[in-house]
Structure 1
Amino acid sequence: MQVKINDPRPSYVQIADGIRHAIQSGDLAAGTKLPSGRDLAKEWGVAVMTAQKAVDQLRAEGLVHSQQGRGVFVAASPDGRPADTDASGLRETVEDLKRRLAAVEQRLGMDADDAT
């Protein structure tokens, strides 16, 4: 897959969404090892740091986990099914709103404490 230039979402969000969809659809089953950051970057046509940020997002959502020296794997819920992702969209929206608010506050010359 490739990042879509005309998509308003940041590149790392597009990558995370693509991997999330693959997990939810069962294309990436629990326990499946994700490609390395370098391979993901090549596949999506982005920098390694962008691919890593996407994986970090999925890790924060509990969809993947790292094993030292082995790689990143699709997580499973306690009953063996893929991890629940119902709240992932909400978390992503909240994070996006935080970034947007910080940008507005910066343009206005405000600290977060000034807004309260």
Structure 2
Amino acid sequence: MTVDTNDPRPPYVQVADGLRAAIRTGELAPGVRLASGRELASQWGVALMTLQKAIDLLRDEGLVYSQQGRGVFVAADGKVPPTDELTALRETVENLERRLSVVEERLQASDNRRR
């Protein structure tokens, strides 16, 4: 698993193609956590940013998904499973929206009293 300097494809595309092939052949099965970014970058002989660009490409294709603090995982049949973290994030955003609304109402009331 190394990048071929004679290959006309950009290095990140070569890495993405290699990981994509491993996913499609089952070498990397659904639910499997990929090695860390640093480990994969070292294995492929590329910079961490190059590897991240390859992972971003695979994420855009629905082949992998990330979980904050846990890593990057192979998606099942190209579908990213819903996570508790996603639900928690949605709840946090909704809570922040409610709190912002209260702050905006108070600011408006304060402005009206000054007039």
When the two structures are superposed, what TM-score results if normalisation uses the length of structure 2?
A: 0.67
Aligned pairs for 1:28-43 within 5 A: 28-43=28-43
Corresponding residue for 1:70?
70
Distance 1:67 1:73 in 2: 8
Distance 1:63 1:53 in 2: 14
Corresponding residue for 2:15?
15
Helix, strand or coil for the counterpart of 1:56?
helix
Say what the alpha-carbon RMSD is for the aligned residues: 1.1
Compute the displacement of 1:56 (Å): 0.4
**Structure 2, unaligned runs of 5 or more:** 80-115
State the AA in 1 paired with 2:42.
Answer: K
Moved over 6 A (4+): none
Compute the displacement of 1:25 (Å): 0.3
State the AA in 2 paired with 1:45.
Answer: G
Q: Which has the larger radius of gyration?
A: 2
When the two structures are superposed, what TM-score results if normalisation uses the length of structure 1?
A: 0.66
State the AA in 1 paired with 2:17.
Answer: D
State the AA in 2 paired with 1:59.
Answer: R
Compute the displacement of 1:72 (Å): 0.2
Distance 2:11 2:33 in 1: 22
What's the % identity of the aligned pairs? 67
Corresponding residue for 1:61?
61
**Structure 1, unaligned runs of 5 or more:** 78-82, 85-116
The structure with the largest helix share of the pair is: 2
Give the number of aligned pairs.
Answer: 79
